[in-house]
Amino acid sequence: MISATGVGWKVGGAQILHDVSLTVGTGELLGIIGPNGAGKSSLVNILSGVTRPSSGRITVQDRDVTRSSATARARMGLARSFQTSALFDGLTAGENVRLAVQAAGPAPFSPFRAAGPASGRRVDDLLARVRMPGRGATLARDLSHGDRRKLELAMALASSPSTLLLDEPMAGVSAEDVDGLTEIIGEVRDSGVAVAMVEHHMHVVLGLADRVAVLHHGELLAVGAPAEVTSDERVQQAYLGEAL
Ligand SMILES: Nc1ncnc2c1ncn2[C@@H]1O[C@H](COP(=O)(O)OP(=O)(O)OP(=O)(O)O)[C@@H](O)[C@H]1O
């Protein structure tokens, strides 16, 4: 579970986020939407510890982590995916996941450590969880865009996170892969993970999210059930001219 309370972020004289407060509970999926430049990625960066807010605080499982690094937050059960790909293209899908499994383990990370049978099983489990069984030997660079996003999800799940932050997990993928990713992310939520997801595919967010938070010019315009939020007049104004 993760919460932001009164979060503001100012950079280079510009106030990017203003007084944002939201919570994502266990087994809940919060969709974060808003027009381009609304501050969605900035908020995810602040929640994950990549960026420190100028004001307000962040808690993970009720512990104040505002001043904790991204690494410290990861140890507390927070995982995230990035808007851009974070894969090693020259490694296989299985090797990419194995690195994430090793990095999440208790022993100091070493890319040279041999993989034990338990690590192999864990890699297979994670690939199966994202519907890529048997794809472990394929080079990451040879995977379809949709499979690359699934692989990134498998890597984010390697640490068995209690909170998962997803920044546009479906950007640029085919309609078929959007359906697959939607099912996988829904299953992750149903397994008890708190999921916050920034996503431009509006029908996906509105169909999948338990609640939706709408950002506009760095302010939280509305938070609520999808139907509540889409009928909100201020939200409709913010999206004027775009399909909601
Ligand atoms: N490091 C930075 N320095 C200065 N301005 C920044 C920085 N990061 C983001 N911004 C600005 O903050 C605003 C919000 O950016 P952000 O990427 O968070 O929006 P977004 O809602 O994720 O947009 P998109 O939907 O296009 O990805 C933009 O105007 C952006 O130019």
Residue 63: left if φ>0, alpha if ψ -120 to 50, beta else—which one?
beta
What is the model's pLDDT at position 120?
80
What is the model's pLDDT at position 81?
84
Distance from the CA of 216 to the center of ligand 1, in angstroms? 12
Closest CA to 53 of 83, 86, 11: 11
What is the model's pLDDT at position 116?
65
Distance from the CA of 238 to the center of ligand 1, in angstroms? 17
Residues of the chain with CATH 3.40.50.300: 1-77+164-244
What is the model's pLDDT at position 110?
61
Q: Is 41 a pocket residue for ligand 1 (Cβ < 6 Å)? A: yes
Partners of 183 in the β-ladder: none
What is the model's pLDDT at position 238?
83
Top mutation candidate among 11, 15, 16, 40 for ligand 1, by most atoms within 8 Å of CB: 16
What is the model's pLDDT at position 237?
86
Q: For residue 201, give every residue at least 6 positions away whose Cβ sits within 8 Å of its Cβ, in sequence order, or none.
A: 170, 178
Top mutation candidate among 42, 47, 54, 215 for ligand 1, by most atoms within 8 Å of CB: 42
Q: Whole-angstrom Cα distance, residue 58 to residue 64?
A: 6
Report the predicted TM-score, pTM, of the whole model to 2 decimal places.
0.91
Name the residue at shortest CA distance from atom 29 of ligand 1: 37
Closest ligand 1 atom to residue 16 Cα is 12
Q: In this structure, are residues 21 and 7 in contact, taking their beta carbons and an 8 Å threshold?
A: yes
Q: Whole-angstrom Cα distance, residue 49 to residue 144?
A: 30
Q: In this structure, are residues 82 and 27 in contact, taking their beta carbons and an 8 Å threshold?
A: no
Q: For residue 211, give every residue at least 6 positions away whose Cβ sits within 8 Å of its Cβ, in sequence order, or none.
A: 28, 29, 30, 31, 223, 224, 225, 226
Closest ligand 1 atom to residue 218 Cα is 14
Q: Whole-angstrom Cα distance, residue 141 to residue 143?
A: 6
Reported ipTM: 0.96
Distance from the CA of 42 to the center of ligand 1, in angstroms? 6
Give average pLDDT by consecutive 10-residue segment, the chain, 244 residues.
97 96 97 94 96 97 94 92 80 94 73 65 95 95 94 94 95 91 97 96 94 96 95 85 58
Strands 29-33 and 55-60: unpaired
Class for the domain spanning 1-77+164-244: alpha beta
